[in-house]
Amino acid sequence: MSGAGGITRTRQDIAAGDIPVDTPRLPAREAAESELSKAMYHENDPNFLQRALNQFWDWVAGVFDAAAGAAPGGPAGLAVLVVIVIGLAAALWWRLGTPQRSARNTDALFDSTGPRSAAQHRATAEAHAAALRWTEAVQERMRAIVRSLEERALLDPRPGRTADEAAAEAGRTLPEHTARLRAAARSFDDVTYGGRTADQSAYLSLRTLDLELDEAKPLLPGTSRGATG
Question: How far apart (Å, rounded) are the C-alpha atoms in residues 33 and 148?
Answer: 86
Cβ atoms within 10 Å of 154's Cβ, excluding its own: 18
Residue 7's pLDDT band, with cuts at 50, 70 and 90, is low
Residues 172-220 have pLDDT tens digits of 999 999 999 999 999 999 999 998 999 999 999 999 999 999 888 887 6
Contact (Cβ atoms closer than 8 angstroms) between residue 184 and residue 209: yes
CB hemisphere CA count around 200 (13 angstroms): 3
Residues 181-192 have pLDDT tens digits of 999 999 999 999
pTM, to two decimals:
0.52
Position 47 pLDDT exceeds 90: no
Position 102 pLDDT exceeds 60: no
Question: How far apart (Å, rounded) are the C-alpha atoms in residues 226 and 229?
Answer: 7
Question: How far apart (Å, rounded) are the C-alpha atoms in residues 31 and 66?
Answer: 42
Cα–Cα separations (whole angstroms), residue 145 to 29, 40, 118, 120, 203:
89, 81, 7, 11, 12
